[in-house]
Amino acid sequence: MPQLKFRGIKKENIINISEQLLKDLVDIVGCPEDYFTFEHIHSDFIFKGEEVEGYPFVEMAWFDRGQEVRDKVAKAVTTYIQGEGYKDVDMFFVTLKEDSYYENGEHF
């Protein structure tokens, strides 16, 4: 159920990296590929009263798998996004608790 939400990145760039990034994340995280979701979120960045060019933010909501796995995921995601021409990439993780995550009315 890892959910990746991408902001400040063109949708075409996410599409370009999605297939191979998914394969790598499956290997790193250790869950089936159909558990993952990739979401493009349109964002407008504003600074001092003006619209400005944003930069990539990636949010990953998941059940925590520890620092080592988190580090590998962050490195893989960053590498792919930088390969699309972005210099800086910020990524953060949102840890979900199994007893607070429901699927079809049942918690994990």
- The model's confidence at residue 43, banded by pLDDT at 50, 70 and 90, is very high
Average pLDDT, the chain: 95
Confidence at residue 54, expressed as pLDDT on a 0 to 100 scale: 87
Question: Domains plus CATH for the chain?
Answer: 5-93 (3.30.429.10)
Q: What is the mean pLDDT of residues 81-92?
A: 97
104 contact partners, CB below 8 Å, separation of at least 6: none
Highest mean pLDDT among 20-24, 42-46, 98-102: 20-24
Confidence at residue 98, expressed as pLDDT on a 0 to 100 scale: 86
Please give the model's pTM, rounded to 2 decimal places. Answer: 0.91
Q: What is the mean pLDDT of residues 33-58?
A: 95
106 contact partners, CB below 8 Å, separation of at least 6: none
